[in-house]
Structure formats: C-alpha cells, structure tokens
Structure 1
Amino acid sequence: MTGLGQIAQHADDLDRATAFYRDVLGLRHIATFDPPGLVFFDLGGVRLLIEKAAPAALLYLASDDVRADVERLRERGVPIVEEPHVIFTDDGTFGRPGAEIWLAAFEDSEGNTVGFIT
C-alpha cells in the first residue's frame, strides 16, 4: 500500500455539488463524466469523487486557518455545524510539540458534514 488515492462523497445533485466544491470551497475540478454521473476534484494529489451512488463520508479538509475558513463560508451562507475550537495540543504525535490542532465542521450543498482541521 502506498497511500490514499481516492475518496468518494455522496451528492443528490451533481451540478449543485460541483458548484459547491469548486466555487465555494475552491477545489480544483479535474473532470466530469455524465453519464454515468461522476465528478472529480483534486485534494492535494488525492482524488475526491462526487457521485450519487457513493455513501456519505466525513471528510476533514486541511486548513491553514480554521477560523478564517469558517468565517469565509459563513459569509457565503454555508451552515456551520461545529464552531472552530482546539481539539488537541500536539505532544509531537502529529507534528510540532505544543501546536494547537483546530477543528470545525460545516454542511455541504448535499447535507454532508465536512470538517476543517489544522
């Protein structure tokens, strides 16, 4: 095994989901194949597949500034389901000892919960 290659997320409306992930979140759109109804985005070298047949997934998107990213989404009317907060002060397990790990969550256009994490 060499790492994560692709993840999938459910969408009822592919056009609406495409607009959300491309225009609101700013992800790079790779391709759309319709039919059969597949939309691909780039998540830093990992493909994000949006499709009707996929189950809902809980995605955590990397953020340099969780609070700023949440405010940007809030200004665009995106529902925030978990306000930014510190979940862990790193002891060196994930990176620099003493660094605060922040988390927040929002609802995408399809009702899926998606998180931001530092």
Structure 2
Amino acid sequence: MRAAQIAQYAADLPRATAFYTDLFGAPPVASFDPPGLVFFDLGGQRLLLEEGAPSALHYYLVDDIDATVARLRAAGAAITGEPHVIFAHVDDTLGPAGTQEIQAFVRDSEGNLVGLVEQRRLP
C-alpha cells in the first residue's frame, strides 16, 4: 500500500500554486476551476491544493536543504525552523544507513507548515 494523495489548504490557489511550483521546480499537472483544484505529481503521489482542504503537515525530500531554505527565504517565505540534525540513520529502517536526517520548516504562502528533509552522508 502507498499513499495516493495529500490534500492541502489553499485560500488563494494562484498564490499557493506559485509557491509549490517554486518549491518543486515543476508546474502542476492539472487544474480544475471550478471547483478550484490544483494537482502536483510527486513521483506518483498527488498533492491537491484546494480551499476546502484542512491544513496538513507534510515533509519533502530535497537534495540540498541549505540551498532550498535560502531560495525560499529569498522568495519571501517564513522559515520557522532552520536546518538542523534530527538523528543519524544507523540502519536502513527510516533512511539510508550512514546518513543524517536534517530537517527545516517553512510556512507556505497560505500559512501551512511544510517540512523539508535532507538525508546527508555522515561526515
């Protein structure tokens, strides 16, 4: 079993679409207006933006968390948690063994909290 879709609150669909297009580096794959739905493809899992959805905390793997945070900060996003080590992966249970789990948190354009994750090789 795998997750098919995450729904995320978006009061202003064009503004939220611009934020996630910047974050993912790719435009949405589908939009339906009405009723006001925007979909992004995340490797087979969908992110749905819509006004009627509740706020959800979701985490995205990024290649370079420091560069991603810097880019989002420059674009005006509120960084609520700077990149920091959460734990080291000693085995492959939650990520590649021999890496550190580094996380940061940012508010999207709609005020939702978004987690960023990098699994960085141990020094």
Same fold, TM exceeding 0.5?
Answer: yes
4+ runs of 1 displaced by more than 6 Å?
none
- TM (normalized to structure 2)? 0.88
Using the TM superposition, give the Cα deviation of residue 42 of structure 1 relative to its aligned residue in structure 2, in angstroms.
Answer: 1.1
For these two proteins, the number of residue pairs brought into alignment is 116
Match of 1:28, SS? coil
Using the TM superposition, give the Cα deviation of residue 50 of structure 1 relative to its aligned residue in structure 2, in angstroms.
Answer: 0.2
Match of 1:18 in 2: 17
Using the TM superposition, give the Cα deviation of residue 59 of structure 1 relative to its aligned residue in structure 2, in angstroms.
Answer: 1.1
> CA–CA distance in 2 between the matches of 1:79 and 1:111?
9
- TM (normalized to structure 1)? 0.92
Contact 1:7 1:49 in 2 (8 A): yes
> CA–CA distance in 2 between the matches of 1:4 and 1:60?
13
Match of 2:34 in 1: 35
AA of the residue aligned to 2:40: F
Q: Deviations over 1:34-93 (max 9, x none)?
A: 111111011121110000110000010111111111111112121100000000101112
Please give the root-mean-square deviation of Cα atoms over the aligned residues, in Å. 1.2
Deviates more, 1:90-99 or 1:49-58: 90-99
Contact 1:61 1:116 in 2 (8 A): yes
